[in-house]
Chain A
Amino acid sequence: KAGVTQTPRYLIKTRGQQVTLSCSPISGHRSVSWYQQTPGQGLQFLFEYFSETQRNKGNFPGRFSGRQFSNSRSEMNVSTLELGDSALYLCASSPREGNTEAFFGQGTRLTVV
């Protein structure tokens, strides 16, 4: 089975712009979660989707949003980028509805200049 695929792998954006990141989960996985990883804050949960419904949302401003499509692929969007949004964004898919292991993609490295 193919693993979790995230595109693009690297992005450089300017402050004020917006960005969309994409995640294709493992085939058959309906749960998709997003995390932000930074040296200062570590790994922080952004949101989780299951069957196109957002079930959980982390403590991030409204500039961060996401969605999931009927084929379980997910996107996250960050509007009005700030320098502090520079991070590794990780997507994970899980085989069951809850409390199960997550399989992570390699991440998208976003740099805001």
Chain B
Amino acid sequence: AQSVAQPEDQVNVAEGNPLTVKCTYSVSGNPYLFWYVQYPNRGLQFLLKYITGDNLVKGSYGFEAEFNKSQTSFHLKKPSALVSDSALYFCAVTLVGGYNKLIFGAGTRLAVHP
């Protein structure tokens, strides 16, 4: 079965420090990978995507993600965290032939402390 795993329920980081939110996937074929962020009482906002090409993908708000095919991972990173980055982050995948159906991970709550 196709699946996405986010092994950490919560990540805590101090403002100004780098942050990493982890994601691994298990799919057959080449995946299309996405990161979304959800603020309280809001829908999801698209951050970035990997389709093909460079393994390091840059996205919105200073976020980037590194695709590692051998480790089947797509970790979200930011060099310097802001308190306003505190939110719920979801990793997701679509599959070839799956149209726009997103398979989501369980989500990771990021808490950035002043």
- Footprint of B on A, CB under 8 Å? 4, 31, 33, 35, 42-45, 48, 50, 55-56, 58, 90, 92, 94, 97-107
B contact residues, total (Cβ < 8 Å): 25
Q: Do the beta carbons of B90 and A43 come within 8 Å of each other?
A: yes
Mostly, the A contact residues are: strand
Q: Do the beta carbons of A98 and B98 come within 8 Å of each other?
A: yes
CB distance from A17 to the nearest CB of B (A): 24
Q: Which 6 residue pairs across A and B have the least CB separation, nearest first?
A: A104-B43, A43-B104, A99-B32, A104-B44, A98-B99, A101-B46
Q: Do the beta carbons of A107 and B102 come within 8 Å of each other?
A: no
Q: Do the beta carbons of A102 and B100 come within 8 Å of each other?
A: yes
A residues in contact with B96, CB < 8 Å? 99
Mostly, the B contact residues are: loop
B residues in contact with A55, CB < 8 Å? 99
Q: Do the beta carbons of B100 and A94 come within 8 Å of each other?
A: yes
A43, A98, A99, A105: residue with the most chain B Cβ atoms closer than 10 Å: A99
Q: Do the beta carbons of B51 and A99 come within 8 Å of each other?
A: yes
A residues in contact with B105, CB < 8 Å? 42
A residues in contact with B42, CB < 8 Å? 106-107
A residues in contact with B49, CB < 8 Å? 101
**What are 10 inter-chain pairs, A to B, with CB distance below 8 A?**
A4-B43, A42-B104, A42-B105, A42-B106, A44-B104, A50-B99, A56-B98, A98-B99, A99-B99, A104-B43
Q: Do the beta carbons of B46 and A103 come within 8 Å of each other?
A: yes
A50–B46 Cα distance when bound, in Å, is 20
Q: Do the beta carbons of A31 and B43 come within 8 Å of each other?
A: no
A residues in contact with B45, CB < 8 Å? 104
Q: Do the beta carbons of B43 and A45 come within 8 Å of each other?
A: no
A residues in contact with B44, CB < 8 Å? 90, 92, 102, 104
Contacts of B76-114 to chain A: CB distance below 8 A: 90, 94, 96-107
A43, A50, A104: residue with the most chain B Cβ atoms closer than 10 Å: A43
Contact status of A48 and B43, CB under 8 A, knowing A99-B32, A99-B51:
no
